[in-house]
Structure 1
Amino acid sequence: MKGAYVCSDRGVPAFGTKGCSLHIQEVIRAMRNKGVELSLFAAASGDQCPNDLANVEFHKVRHTKIRDRSLREQSDIRDNDETIRQLSRYAPYEFVYERYSLWSHAGMSYGHQHGLPTILEVNAPLIEEQKKYRSLCDEQAARYISQICFDHADTIIAVSEHVADYLNEFAEARGKVHVLPNGVNVDTIKKRSLPHAQNHKTTIGFVGTLKPWHGVDLLIEAFSLVLRLHPECHLLIVGDGPEKQKLENLVHQLKIDSSVTFTGAISPENIPSYYQQMDIAVAPYPKQPAFYFSPLKIYEYMAAGLPTVSSNLGQINTILTHGETGLLYDAEHPEALLFSLSHLIQNRAVRETLGRRARIEAENKHSWSLRVQSILSLAGVSEVA
């Protein structure tokens, strides 16, 4: 069976290291394991293609480089016609899968025109996100493109309830929306080996892009207080991003440089080795008015058998069960992070129990294989294997 995967977003490199990139890669892997080959049409390829995906049929979605944002928006809209022609050129397909992008309807329109099952994956309320974090010149056009996309989709996958609520504000999407959170590759991310030495230095870890809404500054501040109680601890921050310099400055101001390690950018295939170095994993999301994420990092922490400490925002409450598979604290009181970390540092048996249960839950409920199986089933597409 052959399908087309379309991602026209300039900012999502299919073979990059961002969470969105890993999402694309894992969907392709899980589809392959079920006998489905995907032809990938993407605006950005990235430069970190994993070896096992090197033979994926890849076609570049062409966008003109334009500095002026207003002109670029209109150019990207016009590019839908060429992407549709490109899809026709490499057909046939038995279904079309598209990652929702602000200016694209090409995948959904092509599939609709040819009577194919169309699956739209929506990871964020992109119009609102663009207005808040960047700038949006032609909101009316953005809404119109989204309406075309939702109308031509047969099945719409929302990664969280908040995203589903946003989608259901559009008449074209209602009745098609299904909530399916992100997942994890439980074969790639193995359960970590427990340290044998009782005097083992406790390592607290974070993995992800260093952006303001991840709350790494809150983690660093809490860790500086943890060190006063547990000076033997270490903080391992895995990843890179626009906040890195600011965070390094904060570490220096707090005079905790010797107890904190920044790894910088790490290729996806090397991430699992860093989970092996951690004893506690943290997702310190700060209070936000609209938390629509389905955090990949939490699923990976669970698969690694790590006890996870996280704020209790949005979908996180349904991923982690407090006291069973992790510890949750009120995002409105980030100082509570200190107490959760201190509790786990002092109680190795609790850490091991939480981590063991988290791994089991990741295997039984959150694998990408299960997610893709659900997607294909919802879309009425029969898997081959």
Structure 2
Amino acid sequence: MKILYHHRVASKDGQYVHIDAIVSQLRAKGHEIIMVAPNVAEGADFGSDGGWVAAIRSKMPRFISELLEFSYSFLVFFKLLKAIRQHRPDVIYERYNLFLPAGIWAKKLCKLPLQLEVNSPLYDERKQYGGITLARLAKWSEYYAWRNADRVLPVTNVLADYIRAAGVSDDKIKVIPNGVDRAVFSAQEQHNRAAQFAGKIVVGFVGFCREWHQLDQVMNKLAAMNNRHIHFLVVGDGPVIGELVAQAESLGFAEAFTTTGLVSREDMPYWLDQIDIALQPAVTPWASPLKLLEYLAKGLAIVAPDTPNIKELLRHEHNALLFAKNNDTQMITHIQTLIENAQLRKALQDNALATIEDKRLSWSDNADCIVDWFNEHRQSK
């Protein structure tokens, strides 16, 4: 099958990981992928925020930036038409973005089936966290894309509720959580354990750490336990790293605390091999966190909030310990419980591994789901 893959992601982050994983799996299954997308991230290091495009937009008044964002749709519409004329794809697969109706225009004009992957309700997300000026245009573009796609693929059922509220019928919605490459993120390999973590119970956090992750409270508790077998590992970067390093020094916990800084995607399996108890302290209410899937695939004992989207994958005392949202005390109590209860920790780790298979949480499974629908759609015509 020839699949035209369209997206507007210019950064090299979790979004890029998702795109690269799906494209790689589709190609591995023998499909031809025609990419229509920015090339800003190509060749950039992981963690790049979009390069010169992001830098220019950050200096513009918001309404001008949003106008340019919408204007890009006209440019990419002609790029899509050119790609369609040149390559004659069978279908279109698009990663949804705000102010981006071009894929739907191309689908309608060229009469191609289109599946729309949705990772967040961007109108609500930007309105809440960054602000939005052209609100009516933004909301129109979101609803227009959702309503006119042949199939909409939200990553959680919580996110699917936003799409239902926009008037999209259930028969056009299929929830597909994020996944993992099981060949890369397989069960923990103990021979990878670094000497400094050997014989330790390692409590780990992966990601860009901020104040609301409450890692300072976690460190206070771990230091107070006065257990030489405990180690705290932060894999990533963030604005509170300096404060955590200083806190570890002041608590006499410096030898039991390690921070890696930003690590490459290729090195992530190695760092997850160092962790026994994995933390997901906070999450946006509609997300399917990539790191959570990777924790499960590695078979880690997970501590996470009991929000509805998280509970689509995790069950308390089965494959994780879940704490009430914003209840830092309960989160820290769960960490202590897992440190002290090796039997429970092992049970959660075993069930975490089984979850990937039971719920088909791999990129390969996701690619199969996408292709199966395209085949069914073509056969029904």
- Scaled by the length of structure 2, the TM-score of the pair is 0.85
What are the superposed Cα offsets for residues 167-188 of structure 1, whole Å, 9 maximum, x if unpaired?
Answer: 1222356652222211111111
> Which one-letter code corresponds to 1:334 in the other structure?
D
Residue 232 of structure 1 and its aligned partner are, at CA, apart by 3.0
Indicate the RMSD between aligned Cα atoms, in angstroms: 2.9
1:40 to 24, 35, 54: 35
Q: Report the counterpart of residue 69 of structure 1 in structure 2.
A: 62
Does the 8 Å contact 1:206/1:238 carry over to 2?
Answer: yes
1:105 and 2:104 aligned: no
Q: Report the counterpart of residue 302 of structure 2 in structure 1.
A: 308
More displaced 10-residue stretch of structure 1: 171-180 or 193-202? 193-202
Residue 135 of structure 1 and its aligned partner are, at CA, apart by 2.0
Structure 2: 5+ residue stretches without partners: 47-52
Q: Report the counterpart of residue 286 of structure 2 in structure 1.
A: 292
> Which one-letter code corresponds to 1:28 in the other structure?
V
Larger helix percent: 2
Does the 8 Å contact 1:154/1:379 carry over to 2?
Answer: no
Alpha-carbon spacing, 1:320–1:37, altered in 2? closer, same or farther (3 Å): same
1:30 and 2:25 aligned: yes
- 1: CA distance between counterparts of 2:224 and 2:242? 24
Residue 379 of structure 1 and its aligned partner are, at CA, apart by 4.1
> Which one-letter code corresponds to 2:185 in the other structure?
I
Q: Report the counterpart of residue 169 of structure 1 in structure 2.
A: 165
1:329 and 2:328 aligned: no
2:136 to 135, 140, 154: 140
Structure 1: 5+ residue stretches without partners: 51-61
Q: Report the counterpart of residue 363 of structure 1 in structure 2.
A: 357
Q: Report the counterpart of residue 272 of structure 2 in structure 1.
A: 275
- 2: CA distance between counterparts of 1:4 and 1:241? 36
Residue 294 of structure 1 and its aligned partner are, at CA, apart by 1.0
Alpha-carbon spacing, 1:253–1:193, altered in 2? closer, same or farther (3 Å): same
1:200 and 2:194 aligned: no
What are the superposed Cα offsets for residues 65-97 of structure 1, whole Å, 9 maximum, x if unpaired?
Answer: 452221121122122121121122233211111
More displaced 10-residue stretch of structure 1: 133-142 or 196-205? 196-205
- Scaled by the length of structure 1, the TM-score of the pair is 0.84
Aligned length: 361
What are the superposed Cα offsets for residues 123-180 of structure 1, whole Å, 9 maximum, x if unpaired?
Answer: 1111111112112110011122223312331000111122111112223566522222
Does the 8 Å contact 2:156/2:312 carry over to 1?
Answer: no
Does the 8 Å contact 1:206/1:237 carry over to 2?
Answer: yes
- 2: CA distance between counterparts of 1:158 and 1:139? 22
- 1: CA distance between counterparts of 2:93 and 2:181? 20
Alpha-carbon spacing, 1:379–1:240, altered in 2? closer, same or farther (3 Å): farther
Does the 8 Å contact 1:108/1:120 carry over to 2?
Answer: no
1:159 and 2:186 aligned: no
Residue 64 of structure 1 and its aligned partner are, at CA, apart by 11
- 2: CA distance between counterparts of 1:38 and 1:301? 30
Q: Tell me, what secondary structure is at the counterpart of 1:297?
A: helix
Q: Tell me, what secondary structure is at the counterpart of 2:41?
A: coil
Q: Report the counterpart of residue 56 of structure 1 in structure 2.
A: none
Residue 205 of structure 1 and its aligned partner are, at CA, apart by 0.9
1:375 and 2:370 aligned: yes
Does the 8 Å contact 2:219/2:248 carry over to 1?
Answer: no
Alpha-carbon spacing, 1:34–1:199, altered in 2? closer, same or farther (3 Å): closer
Q: Tell me, what secondary structure is at the counterpart of 1:168?
A: helix
What are the superposed Cα offsets for residues 231-280 of structure 1, whole Å, 9 maximum, x if unpaired?
Answer: 43111111224554555565566564433222111111110000111111
- 2: CA distance between counterparts of 1:202 and 1:63? 41
- 1: CA distance between counterparts of 2:71 and 2:294? 38
What are the superposed Cα offsets for residues 16-44 of structure 1, whole Å, 9 maximum, x if unpaired?
Answer: 2x222211111112212322232223334
- 2: CA distance between counterparts of 1:242 and 1:21? 22
Residue 333 of structure 1 and its aligned partner are, at CA, apart by 2.3
More displaced 10-residue stretch of structure 1: 339-348 or 41-50? 41-50
Q: Report the counterpart of residue 266 of structure 1 in structure 2.
A: 263
Q: Report the counterpart of residue 183 of structure 1 in structure 2.
A: 179
More displaced 10-residue stretch of structure 1: 166-175 or 329-338? 166-175
Residue 345 of structure 1 and its aligned partner are, at CA, apart by 1.5
> Which one-letter code corresponds to 1:201 in the other structure?
K
Q: Tell me, what secondary structure is at the counterpart of 1:336?
A: helix
